[in-house]
Chains A and B, each alone.
Chain A
Amino acid sequence: MIKKISSNNLHKYMALPAILLFLLFFVYPLSRGIGFSMMKYNGVSAPEFIGLGNFIAFFHDSRAMRDVLNTLQFGFSSAVLLNIFGLTYALIFDGNTFIKRLGRTVVYIPAVISGLIMGYVWLMILSSQTGTYYQILQKIHALWLYKDFLGSMKDAMWLIIIVNVWQYVGMTMTIYLAGLQLIPTEIYEASEIDGANYFQTLFHITIPLLIPSIKINVITNIIGSLVVFDVIVALTNGGPGNATESLSLFIYRNAYGGATGYATAVSIIMFFIILIPVAISLAIINKKQIEMGV
């Protein structure tokens, strides 16, 4: 590294800009964050070392515990539903007709729009009294069907999950579609000759051969869903009460509320909350992959 840089060996230093940025904006804050997590620190005055105090406080913080459950509920339900619907969509939209190509484009559109804006659009449709949903029910004299989902402690989170799945199902579908392209058509012909029906073929041939796509979709959906932020901010901002507050919203609020040390400790805990389910699902999928011999 010490050798003089000349035009002849310039190419050896081509990774330096990327590495310097990585050190400054990733490694350095990450290592400082580990330090902050063991301090009582508000971001301004001198930090005070309190060891594992922030971590212990986290497990005694009933709001934080509620947020962990909210985050897990959102993360798992979204990941499961995105995969079930993503695969279903892929099976329906697989094919090269005009209507299917158009359909794939249309279904993908919501996924390129900001989650925040999409959240506000659904808020506009669902918000009580003034929303489109309420007005339609009123027009068709079916107001008995109406329920203020977003104002309900029990239902609000499910509604956010549904909106999130609606928005991103096209992305999961696209990866499944690519996986379907890789399955040779001869296999389907053989199973047809053997007299297998649609669902037998689906569960014994298509799904096992899609395991690589399943792996990618499960992992990216778990990680992506557990860090949920925008859609919740737009639809409920964590309410009613704290019924839909996620851990990332909790971190944001604590960081802004001057609890810098505590917020970094929660970030580190959140890292493991993401890592553990990812590791477990990877292990399960890999085991299935070996069992099925694909």
Chain B
Amino acid sequence: MNKHLNRILTIFLMLLALIPFYFLSVTAMSSPKWRNILVPQFYLLNFVNAWNKSHLGRAMINSFILTVCTVSLIVLFASTAGYAFAHVKNTFHKIFSNAFLLSMLVPGIINTVPLYVLMRQIHGINTYWAMILLMTTGALPFATFLYTSFIQAMPREIEEAAYVDGCTKFSAFWKITFPLLEPVTSAVVILNAVGIWNNYSMAVFFLQEQSMQTVPLAISRFAQTYGANWNLMAAAALIGMLPPVVVFLSFQKYFIKGIVAGAVKG
């Protein structure tokens, strides 16, 4: 391709991705009376008002608790399951590792309604613990799969040295193997953290109380109440999108690696 054409297209596509954010920022920093759409008024009170009216503070705490706990459980349960599936060959493990793979073909929405009935019966609606367990289960099959294939490719001699030193296989896993799984762990953490933070289609079913709502739920409720006030709405949207964008920009390398690893193995 022509060098100049390529340069022009590169810049054009970057602008295409960024322009909506520019308009969003201008709207977020202007009062309703401001008529200029290209230059903001720098009316920053919108952010204060949006923050106070949208309950985004509470929602950020909820999203943070749910994301951190879910991601920790995913890493804990998927790495141990991956180890067992890779090293302990028996029919029981074979059945479940295949069942995990098959379940990845079933999108979450298919199971949501019966899950909703189950959640009501176990009094799991509007609770952290049930939402955490539910989202952990949703992410387990793929994460386990990533761990299993990584562990299978690892040389076994690494652990054997530890057995000689008197470790059981269980303690050798935590002392030797788990730290070596860091590439998979970082991919699993980063991909799931953003997915869980942004989750709306599950949260809208299982977290109905305002005190339990996550960031996407708070934004959608805010939009229903203040939707006509675009300046406040824009300020709320900007605040709500900030955490994943900051995380992405700081851990970009892991992101791309995670997506590619997931795609190639999946």
Q: How distant is the Cα of A19 from the Cα of B233 in the complex, in angstroms?
A: 43
B13 touches A22 (CB 8 A): no
**B24 interface residue (CB < 8 Å to A):** yes
Q: In the complex, what residues of B have CB within 8 A of residue A10's CB?
A: 168-170
For A172-184 the 0/1 string (1 means CB < 8 A from B) is 0011001000000
B118 touches A109 (CB 8 A): no
Of A102, A175, A198, chain B has the most CB atoms within 10 Å of the CB of A175
Q: In the complex, what residues of A have CB within 8 A of residue B92's CB?
A: 1
A251 touches B107 (CB 8 A): no
For the complex formed, measure the closest distance between the CB of A279 and the CB atoms of chain B, giving whole angstroms.
Answer: 10
**B99 interface residue (CB < 8 Å to A):** yes
6 residue pairs bridging A and B, Cβ less than 8 Å apart:
A1-B92, A11-B169, A114-B197, A216-B264, A217-B263, A260-B117
B109 touches A251 (CB 8 A): yes
Q: In the complex, what residues of A have CB within 8 A of residue B173's CB?
A: 11, 14
- Number of interface residues, chain B, beta carbon within 8 A: 95
Tell which of A151-159, A261-269, A285-293 binds the partner. Answer: A261-269
**A103 interface residue (CB < 8 Å to B):** yes
A114 touches B240 (CB 8 A): yes
List 10 additional A-B contacts (Cβ < 8 Å) besides A26-B103, A93-B10: A11-B168, A15-B80, A32-B114, A92-B10, A102-B14, A103-B11, A112-B245, A115-B198, A220-B266, A260-B117
Q: In the complex, what residues of A have CB within 8 A of residue B138's CB?
A: 25
A15 touches B10 (CB 8 A): no
For A120-161 the 0/1 string (1 means CB < 8 A from B) is 111011010011100110010000000000000000000000
Assuming the contacts A227-B108, A274-B107, asked whether A26 and B137 have C-beta atoms less than 8 A apart, the reply is: yes
Give residues in A with beta carbon < 8 Å to B: 1, 7-8, 10-15, 17-19, 21-22, 24-30, 32-33, 36, 43, 89, 91-93, 99-100, 102-103, 105-110, 112-118, 120-122, 124-125, 127, 130-132, 135-136, 139, 166, 170-171, 174-175, 178, 198, 212-213, 216-217, 220, 223, 226-227, 229-230, 233-234, 248, 251-252, 255, 260, 263-264, 267-268, 270-271, 274-275, 278
Q: In the complex, what residues of B have CB within 8 A of residue A27's CB?
A: 99
**B248 interface residue (CB < 8 Å to A):** yes
Q: In the complex, what residues of A have CB within 8 A of residue B50's CB?
A: none
Q: How distant is the Cα of A117 from the Cα of B216 in the complex, in angstroms?
A: 7
B117 touches A268 (CB 8 A): no
**B112 interface residue (CB < 8 Å to A):** yes
Q: In the complex, what residues of A have CB within 8 A of residue B237's CB?
A: 117, 120-121, 124
A178 touches B198 (CB 8 A): no
A174 touches B80 (CB 8 A): no
Interface of B, secondary structure class, is helix
Q: In the complex, what residues of A have CB within 8 A of residue B35's CB?
A: 135
The residue that A19 contacts in the complex, of B9, B76, B96, B111, with Cβ under 8 A, is B96
For the complex formed, measure the closest distance between the CB of B8 and the CB atoms of chain A, giving whole angstroms.
Answer: 10
For the complex formed, measure the closest distance between the CB of B41 and the CB atoms of chain A, giving whole angstroms.
Answer: 14
For B69-84 the 0/1 string (1 means CB < 8 A from A) is 0000000111011011
B133 touches A120 (CB 8 A): no
Q: In the complex, what residues of B have CB within 8 A of residue A227's CB?
A: 107-109, 201
For the complex formed, measure the closest distance between the CB of B237 and the CB atoms of chain A, giving whole angstroms.
Answer: 5
Q: How distant is the Cα of A171 from the Cα of B263 in the complex, in angstroms?
A: 11
